Amino acid sequence: MKNVFVNGYGSIGSRITAFLKDDPEISVVGVGKYSPDEDVNVAISRGLDVYVPESKVDDFKDFKISGSIESALDKSDLVVDAAPGGHGFKNKKNLYEPRNISAIYQGGESTMGDNAVSDLLFNSRANYDLAIGKNHVMQGSCNVTGMGRILEPLREKFGDSIIRFDVTLVRRWADIEQTEKKLSDTIEMTEKPHHGDDVKLYFGKDAPLYVRAIKVPTRQMHLHIMDVRFNGTAPKHSEIHELFTNEFGVATLWTAKGTKDVRDYAQNMGFNFTDTNMIHIHANMTTSIGDTVQMMYSDDQTGIVIPENHMLMQAMLFEKSYSEAFAHTESIFHMTEKKQKLQEHFKKF
């Protein structure tokens, strides 16, 4: 049994703790909170111990907190840092390294430059083995994670016959829970998006991958538009779909008219946080024209990285093989069942 502390209780932290409570190999020490808001009581109502910074204990006098974050770390084997982007590096230097505690960081951090939290950006589909026994690893963002689930199988199947990948990321403006965040009536262009460089950290720095990004006023997932150019005639769209038949965390849907259709169905199925935890290939939009395959797939924002964090945790804490980690993650997240239900609901007529 290993003790895990989740430092932060927002979109990532609340999801991770919901699943870790079902893992018999892990004991959740508690969660870290930095603001004295209603989420403190929400966490407590879900059976979680809440810890706060030593310097802010007095700010939480109206809540039943369990102690300081510093004291929680002292009894933890690993911390999942779910703090806002940029705070992970500070936490690493001020909290985790002095205590020699292993840590997983989220997509708002960096693996490059002076503020790098790790030299490894994790994607279970591409570099699981490199994370075994590591002390500090960064989990890729939802977009970066999602691209790996599509890119790696394509490269494994078609290899050098692929000349280049061109991807347009249509990003959501805010998460489902961020009701305080207003959706602006605009389509915002992202100059020099980090996603392409991040993907190349596990896909290869010389990979022929080119990424552009825009942000649109929705909370209902991301959408990736990908063109895959081949050296010669491109595979038929049926070959592309067949490739992902048994792929973990990738569902092939035919009749979803939009991302909200998928989200609404997930809510009806009773998934945690209305997440599917996967990529959804919108099969009716896949086209093979000459030397190019055009495809679209939606990315379950936030939810997609939760099973990835679980896989990473097993590599770092238990040094499990990929197959062992995969089987255990499946027993917690039931991804195969979710995929089957999604594909049946949105099947081709």
pTM given for the model: 0.94
Q: In the prediction, which pLDDT does 102 show? A: 97
Q: In the prediction, which pLDDT does 113 show? A: 84
d(CA 169, CA 275) in angstroms, rounded, equals: 20
Is the model's pLDDT at 178 over the cut of 90? no
Q: In the prediction, which pLDDT does 174 show? A: 82
Q: What is the pLDDT of residues 136-166, one digit of tens each?
A: 999 999 999 999 999 999 999 999 899 999 9
Is the model's pLDDT at 177 over the cut of 80? no
123 closest CA partner among 220, 195, 199: 199
d(CA 106, CA 129) in angstroms, rounded, equals: 19
What residue spans define the domains of the chain?
A: 2-140+305-332, 142-303+335-346
Do 118 and 111 meet the contact criterion of CB atoms below 8 Å apart? yes
Domain 2-140+305-332: CATH superfamily is NAD(P)-binding Rossmann-like Domain (3.40.50.720)
Q: Which residues are catalytic?
A: 142
142-303+335-346: same fold as 2-140+305-332? Answer: no
Q: What is the pLDDT of residues 235-284, one digit of tens each?
A: 999 999 999 999 999 999 999 999 999 999 998 888 888 899 999 999 99
Per-residue b/e over 287-298, b at no fewer than 16 CB within 10 Å?
Answer: ebeeebbbbbbb
Do 255 and 349 meet the contact criterion of CB atoms below 8 Å apart? yes
Selected from 1.20.1250.20, 1.10.1740.10, 3.30.360.10, 3.40.50.300, the CATH number assigned to the domain covering 142-303+335-346 reads 3.30.360.10
